[in-house]
Amino acid sequence: MKTPLLKNNKTIPYSISENECPEGGKFQVKIIVDQQFVGGMIYSIQPYSLKIHRIDNYTHEVDPKDNSVADKSKQVSGVGRVVTEFALRKSFKLGKEGHLEVDAVRETGAGYFKIGFRKFECSILNLEDSISQYQNNPEDKGLEAKIKENSSYKFLVQSATANIYFKDFVVKGIKDWDAFYNMPEFLEKEETVDFNSAIKFGIYDPNNHVVSQKLENNQVLTYVECFQLLTGPMALPQEKIDEYKNLFGIDDPAEAMNGILGDITHFSE
């Protein structure tokens, strides 16, 4: 593993175990430090991705009096990123090409977002399977026609246009997306988005840009914003998959999990 766990700003050794859950169909990954379970995840294998159902982090010792961390020297940081590396490696090993999905709730959405996950455009979720099939077989013109004929394709194009041209409009302080979608400049640009661009950029909610700007500027998201912008299905965009693949040194997907499981799994420089 390339991702470190830190304690007192120093790297610490850890091991990883994996077992099938009793109910079947899901798997539990445990990160172990000094024989203690400090965190991990529950995941399942989907047709085109690895889906993370939850990430656990038990490294914060909380003072029940005020719900604060009792002793920060006992904190272990980096669990979320260790889980992300493991999940990405597993996805490659399973032939899912690094694709990861999560279902975020209000309490977890910001954490997933900081790792790199982005919210899907909900209005095109009924196209998700067809888009995944097309991405795995882009020469299939029948799939292309099927997607274009779907009633949600227009929303895919709208979302792609918003994602491609968002920065042109951000200076205008766009907050009302309904108004944005009816701006003459937007409608003119919408006509220039081709099918491949719609597939590449349209599956993610344009509101991801709003969240990104607020987090970059250290602005606090309201309860409503967290509920609207950081809940629901999220995934790693292709550019983030490529970035992590390079960062973790995954050159051969078939060898992505070599040496990861077992007692000898430690952070490696």
Q: From its phi and psi, is residue 78 left (phi > 0), alpha (psi between -120 and 50) or beta?
A: left
User: What domain range includes position 193?
Assistant: 137-203
pLDDT at 28: 94
Task: Map tokens 């509101």 to a residue.
Answer: 207
**Does residue 179 form part of some domain?**
yes
Tell the residue number behind the tokens 């606090």, with chain if given.
220
In order of 5, 40, 61, 233, the CA distances from 81 in angstroms are 9, 10, 20, 19
Counting the structural domains of the chain, the total is 1
Q: Residue 232 and residue 85: Cα distance in Å, rounded?
A: 22
Q: Where are any strands of DSSP class E within the chain?
A: 5-7, 10-12, 15-20, 27-33, 36-45, 50-57, 62-63, 68-69, 100-104, 118-119, 232-235
Q: Note whether residue 52 is domain-resident.
A: no
User: Is residue 264 domain-resident?
Assistant: no
Q: What is the mean pLDDT of each run of 10 residues along the chain (269 residues)?
A: 84 90 90 87 92 82 45 70 92 92 84 89 79 84 90 88 77 68 78 87 83 81 80 88 92 85 49
Q: pTM of the prediction?
A: 0.78
Inside any domain, residue 155: yes
Distance CA 118, CA 212 (A): 10
Contacts 24+ apart (CB under 8 A), 105-110: 105/231, 106/223, 106/226, 106/227, 106/230, 106/231, 108/54, 108/55, 109/226, 109/229, 109/230, 109/231, 109/234, 110/215, 110/221, 110/226, 110/230
Question: Domain for residue 81, yes or no?
Answer: no
Does residue 107 fall inside a structural domain?
A: no
Would you state the pLDDT for residue 65? 46
* CB neighbours of residue 171 within 10 Å: 7
pLDDT at position 33 = 86
Torsion of CA 267, 92, 236, 19, to 10 degrees: -70
Q: Is residue 151 part of a domain?
A: yes
Q: Residue 110 domain-assigned?
A: no
